[in-house]
Amino acid sequence: MAGVAALEQEIMSLRKRRQLYSLIGVLLVIAVLVSGYSKSNTMNSGNFLDGLSKFFDYPSEIVIEAWEAGPAFFGLILTYLPAMLETLNIAGVATLLGGAMAVVLAMASSRNVDSWGPGIPVVRRVMDIMRAFPELIIALFLIFVLGSSPVPAMIAVAFHTAGALGKLFSEVNENIDRKPIEGLSACGASWMQRIRYAVMPQVAPNYLSYFLLRLEINVRASAILGFVGAGGIGQELRRTIGWGQGAGDETAAIFVLLFVTIMLIDQASSYLRGKLVGSGRAH
């Protein structure tokens, strides 16, 4: 009993010591954050707290100017509709191209579908590289090479999409039932026939689910890329924001159009994903 009591005492002592070290660590982090804030605040041209009080000045100006525009505000929404359609085209084409490349990369990087063994780690590292570079960085490089147009944005989004979806698709491949593959292999079916008749029927619902989810993400990414000259609604938003006061109604119209479009895409994609995954599980 004395040994058990001593052990419990030692455990309590170690627990209190760990709590003390944790408290000291938290206090050190807080001290570093406070000192860093004070240092950066003295180096800024303005004061953070003073600027925080003016945080809502610009948004309120946008709302006021949009309200003063009256019924003409809805006309502005229609004016920027072609730019929104351009952004949707960029996202749609990029998602289609990236999704097609992702299927190829996923099949080449999955051991579960009898892919070529030595090539699997190579393809996986390629997908890592494709995911490592954000769309914005790729688009900036391509705009420098190809000039300002929607094409660099489409290529950048498709490149990143291929790496991201390829990773997700390969994980779907790893969870399939191998019995249909083994059955077709025993009948002498080729690799392409095994992929078509044994793998694709199992993975298609989840593939489409991830594809639709990626489409939502790419619409947002394509809008952001407009800020660097890649066209679409983002380029119009950059222009109206750059004008500052007096263009608040146009900025508000773009925000409303972008919000409504993304909301509709989110709702439609969520509905379709639910149907696809549900039908896949039902079968």
CATH number for the domain harbouring residue 112: 1.10.3720.10
- Owning domain of residue 135: 65-282
Give me the amino acid identity at 105: L
- The verdict on 17 and 138 lying in the same domain is no
The answer to whether residue 56 sits within a structural domain is no
**27 and 105 assigned to the same domain:** no
Flag whether pLDDT at 277 surpasses 70: no
Residue 55 lies inside a defined structural domain of this protein: no
* Same domain, yes or no: 200 and 87: yes
- Let me know whether 141 and 16 are in one domain: no
Q: Exposure pattern of 96-135 as b/e (b: 16+ CB <10 Å)?
A: ebbbebbbebbbbbbeebbbeeeeeeebbebbeebbeeeb
Q: What is the pLDDT of residues 160-172, one digit of tens each?
A: 999 999 999 999 9
Residue 121 has pLDDT above 50, yes or no: yes
Residues 15 and 143 in one domain: no
Span 143-164, pLDDT tens digits = 888 887 888 889 999 999 999 9
| Domain membership flag for residue 51 | no
Q: Same domain, yes or no, for 202 and 240?
A: yes
Please indicate, yes or no, whether residues 22 and 102 belong to a single structural domain of this protein: no
Task: For residue 54, tell me if it sits in a domain.
Answer: no
Residue 182 domain flag: yes
What is d(CA 180, CA 114) in angstroms, rounded to the nearest whole number? 12
User: Based on the structure, what is the number of domains in the chain?
Assistant: 2
Tokens 């983002």 label which residue? Answer: 234
| 124 and 21, same domain (yes or no) | no
Cα dihedral: 147, 153, 159, 161 (round 10): 180
Q: Which of 213-217, 227-231, 240-244, 260-264 is predicted with the least confidence, judged by mean pLDDT? A: 240-244
Region label for 176, one of left (φ > 0), alpha (ψ between -120 and 50) or beta (otherwise) = beta
Let me know whether 206 and 100 are in one domain.
yes
**Rounded mean pLDDT of the chain?**
82
Structural domain includes residue 53: no
73, part of any domain: yes
Asked whether residue 139 falls in the same domain as residue 255, the answer is: yes
pLDDT in tens, 44-83: 555 666 666 666 777 778 888 878 878 888 888 888 888 8
Higher pLDDT, 6 or 112: 112
Q: Could you tell me if residue 180 is inside a domain?
A: yes
- Residues 17, 129 within the same domain: no
Asked if 42 and 181 sit in the same domain, the reply is: no
Query: Does the structure show a pLDDT above 80 at 94?
Result: yes
8 A C-beta contact, residue 249 and residue 73: yes
